[in-house]
Chain A
Amino acid sequence: MANTSVYGITGYGGYIPRLRMQRAAIAAAHKWMAPSLKSLAKGHRAFCSWDEDSVTMAVEASRDALDNRDRAGIGKLYLSSTTMPFADLQHSAIVAGALNLSSACQTLDLGSTQRAGTSALMAALQNGGSDALLIASEQPKGKPGSIQEIGYGAGAAAFTLGSQNVIASLLGAASRTSFFVDHFRASDSDYNYVWEERWIRDEGYMKLVPDAVKAALKDAKVSAADISHFIMPSPMKGLADAVAKKLGVAAESVSDNLEENCGNTGSAHGLLMLAKVLEQATPGQIILVVGFGQGCDALVFQVTEAISKFKPRRGVSGALADAQVHDAYLRMLSYEGNIDLEWGMRAEKTVKTALTEQYRSSNQLASFMAGKCRCCQTLQFPQMPYCVNPECNASSENFDQVSLVDVPNSVLTYTADWLSYHPAPPLYVGFVQFENGARLLMETVEVGAAGLDVGTPLKVVFRIKDIDTTRGYPRYFWKTTPIEA
């Protein structure tokens, strides 16, 4: 165990959308044309609400990892995904703004392969340097009626990296590059084009993974038998067990692939599984993480004593447990843009963003900063030129900035609006009262069967505010959701 890296994983967190679709409902909808899907119809898959995407999930996973910890020292932000909304606009910059990271933080987007997450983690750990935040986030989209649709999920994982309080250090790693095309997605296409499963299994995973893993184990100077947690996401049932067996990894070490109520989250999945494994891992254990795609990454970690001192805000397990199960398959189709419903003329509202204004007000919009008047202490959002308190009206020039993102809050007023255009009707809207005195009108999402009432406890979540479909521009802001729903 001499090879312990100084720079390693110092924290972890995850996010899985609250919304889960019954796979049986998906299979039932396609029974007329694809009766074989019934064999995959167990459990639930996570799906993004209309206002969630890989950016919003990245922010929420990061909040889970960071909780209220100091962010000032984070000097790098790596964001990996193959399902980001823009072809040319840096998503990690959006995430850095929402997390209120320093403008000195270096940001980098990575993608283009299913091993984007593991490759990003490997590169970041090998590069070392300043404290970093590494995020993998993915919302893979399956064509209606496909095996992918029923098997995919959505989610994100986030890790803090650094040299202090390392909870898992990289013992060794290896990469293998091979132009093995199990699937591909053209840059202007919504769906993957996938080749035959048995070929992917036999010629791909069964041959390429062991090659990389063996090299990584050699680099780490540990044997397959030492592995306590074998993390290998794969689209096929039982494939991780088969690879583990071939490698000589104990069967009980093969990690749960979150099939039951999440589904495969694409390039984020290996790191999402890692975030989950770290919740139960004990000091000294060896974790192997495999990333597959045009070759293979294999990373060997060792858990340290410091693991007991870290807890994510709620962790992947907490996210998994926080589920709202749906059986309306058309809802998922609509949220994923796979069906074009008639929303009426109200949906024609123009939501063009003044990019100038978005930039001017980024402190308020991205980081959700309320102003605290130094004269009368009134906390206020939005921040206008003068204090809102009619007894004060002092200039806002010297307001202190207070983030509302993690301040406890609850319902002051509410209604369920069935008239406004909203992609997930009804639109719940009302005043949110923050414990620190701030209040503002907000949208509340994912209201469950319990509904809302005056006083219902809420929490703040980062979401898509509107989507400008004419220009293809989603804009982001903060919303609320019931803590329990």
Chain B
Amino acid sequence: MAKGIKDKVAILGMGCSQFGERWDKGTSELLAEAFDEALKDAGIERKEIEAAWYGSCMDAVNVGNSAIPASVALRLDSIPFSRVENMCATGTEALRGAVYAVASGAVDIALAVGAEKLKDTGYGGLPPGFKGTFNDLWMPLGSAPAGFAQLAAGYRAKHGVSKEDLKRAIAHVSWKSHENGVLSPKAHLRKKVSMEQILNAPMIAEPLGLFDCCGVSDGAAAAIVTTPEIARALGRKDMVTIKAIQLSIGSGVESSTNQWDGSHVRTTRNAAKKAYEEAGITDPRKQLSLMEVHDCFSITELVTMEDLFVSKEGRATHDVLDGFYDRTGGGVPCQVDGGLKCFGHPIGATGLRMAYEVYNQLLGRAGERQLKDPSLGLTHNLGGVPYLGIAAISILGLHS
């Protein structure tokens, strides 16, 4: 049995661009914005980076395919540079590439960088993707909210929750993120919203209203990773290390067999089990200090609380409404920075943006929204749709 990567890789530096409607910047400049901060934080020179992974999802609104344009943008000459794409898990996938390279001993210092420039589409929401020559012939269209909204029907049917109660619980999810986003200078949306605004917003995909959906945004984030030994040699005292990174991808079990009831995300459960094992976590509800989960839609965050085994099955609505996931609720704060709800979801950047928040919280650098003595944080991405997709989980913690 493989031993995993726990504590084999440390984060030397991170950076994150301002998220939002970045009319002033192209993808290259966003990459540079995040990269500059990460380099400065790491205290190294560009030429010390030995390998790099670039995460971006949509060629049409980014710099193009392959890692060449990113290599040009960051002037990283003659090193191995790969572009990765795994839908909404792309940012975490880039981080995984860099972390695995260091953990393997292949390189000492690696870069993970991700960006997405969604405001170059000309409209709100994600552009509809091409699904391949075969799937496009039978698979119905359906927006991202439509994919995730189906969890609501499944969850209600499984747990006997009324439409009204579920709507109120998912509204609380969005309300909480907006409360937190106010304290997050790099967030796209930094306004408080009322429960009434959320509940009465126009419908996007039933039962998800406008405020149940994260925004479309531009942004980039970056991480420079190395071994704990090198980090220490470079003068790092407080050190954040990677405790686990796990991905779980569906093979069609949910969408083609009776082994799924529509109420949860199977891949998140599988990735969580593996990540907890790799990180040595036995009771996530007690051990985790904070979580940044893939709240692309409020219903997603709600079922994710069960899929990560933090809420018991069927109890997420109660935990959410009890404030267990609020920043000051006494439980496990979730989306302390405002989450996708307030940052938006520049796909290639999101996983790295989440790690950036956990990293800063662990190092006590989170300013007004700083939590008290956090020691272990989790990030979670969902690529694709709940019934056919990719769950990516990373767990970061202070190096003991």
Contacts and interface: CB of A to CB of B under 8 A. Distances in A.
B145 A417 contact: yes
Interface of A: 344-346, 349-351, 353-354, 356-358, 361, 364-365, 378, 380-382, 384, 388-390, 411-422, 426-427, 429-431, 433, 437-443, 453-455, 465-466, 475, 477, 479
Interface in B223-266: 251-253, 255-258, 262
Given A344-B123, A437-B258, A415 B154 contact: no
B141 interface: yes
A431 B145 contact: no
B190 interface: no
Given A346-B123, A413-B153, A419 B143 contact: yes
B330 interface: no
A419 B204 contact: yes
5 contacts: A413-B262, A415-B150, A415-B152, A419-B125, A420-B142
Contacts of A443: 140-141
A356 B153 CA distance: 37
Given A437-B258, A439-B258, A429 B142 contact: yes
Nearest to B129: A349
Contact of A390 (B143, B251, B255): B251
A93 to B, nearest CB: 17
**Which 10 pairs between the two chains have the least Cβ-Cβ distance?**
A417-B146, A415-B149, A413-B150, A354-B133, A443-B140, A357-B133, A419-B143, A454-B157, A413-B262, A420-B143
B258 A475 contact: no
Contacts, number: 141
A465 B123 contact: no
Nearest to B137: A365
Contact of B205 (A415, A421, A453): A415
Nearest to A475: B137
B325 interface: no
B23 to A, nearest CB: 17
B257 A382 contact: no
Given A346-B123, A382-B134, A416-B206, A429 B257 contact: no
Nearest to B135: A382
B1 interface: no
A107 to B, nearest CB: 22
Nearest to B208: A415
Given A441-B142, A443-B140, A345 B256 contact: no
A427 B255 contact: no
Contacts of B146: 415, 417, 419-420, 427, 429
A431 B262 contact: yes
Contacts of B127: 346
Nearest to B130: A350
A389 B212 CA distance: 34
Interface string B162-205: 00000000000000000000000000000000000000001111
Given A412-B262, A414-B150, A427-B141, A441 B251 contact: no
Contact of B256 (A344, A351, A381, A465): A381
A413 B255 contact: no
B252 A384 contact: yes
A477 B138 CA distance: 6
Given A345-B123, A358-B137, A427-B142, A416 B257 contact: no
A337 B175 CA distance: 43
A119 B76 CA distance: 74
Chain B contact patch, size range? 35 or more
A477 B256 contact: no
Nearest to B207: A415
A426 B258 CA distance: 27
Contacts of A466: 136
B205 A465 contact: no
A351 B128 CA distance: 11
B141 A422 contact: yes
A382 B387 CA distance: 14
Given A412-B154, A431-B255, A437-B258, A442 B206 contact: no
B121 interface: yes
B364 to A, nearest CB: 40
Residue among B127, B137, B202, B262 with the highest chain A CB neighbour number at 10 A: B137
B269 interface: no
B128 A420 contact: yes
Contacts of B123: 344-346
Contact of A353 (B137, B205, B206): B137
B139 interface: yes
Contacts of B157: 454-455
B387 A388 contact: no
A415 B143 CA distance: 11
A348 to B, nearest CB: 9
Nearest to A453: B153
A442 B256 CA distance: 12
A203 B123 CA distance: 59
B156 interface: yes
Nearest to B206: A416
Contacts of B208: 415
A464 B123 CA distance: 27
B137 A429 contact: no
Nearest to B252: A388
Contacts of A426: 205-206
Given A415-B150, A430-B153, A441 B203 contact: no
A440 B150 CA distance: 13
Given A346-B123, A388-B256, A419-B145, A454 B139 contact: no
A477 B134 CA distance: 12
Contact of B137 (A380, A381, A437, A465): A465
B59 to A, nearest CB: 14
A472 to B, nearest CB: 17
Residue among B121, B156, B257, B258 with the highest chain A CB neighbour number at 10 A: B257
Contacts of B258: 433, 437, 439
Given A365-B138, A420-B128, A431-B255, A415 B121 contact: no
B206 A357 contact: no
Contacts of B152: 415
Nearest to A476: B137
Residue among A346, A358, A413, A479 with the highest chain B CB neighbour number at 10 A: A413
A421 B140 contact: no
A420 B147 CA distance: 11
Nearest to A413: B150
A437 B125 CA distance: 34
Given A345-B123, A361-B137, 7 more contacts: A413-B153, A415-B145, A415-B146, A415-B152, A433-B258, A437-B258, A455-B157
B141 A415 contact: no
Contacts of A361: 134, 137
B262 A419 contact: no
Nearest to A444: B140
A429 B136 CA distance: 15
A414 B387 CA distance: 13
A454 B140 CA distance: 19
Contact of A380 (B141, B257, B387): B257
Interface string B361-400: 0000000000000000000000000010000000000000
A415 B163 CA distance: 13
B61 to A, nearest CB: 12
A147 B137 CA distance: 38
A361 B262 CA distance: 28
B257 A388 contact: yes
B162 to A, nearest CB: 13
A418 B142 contact: no
A369 B140 CA distance: 17
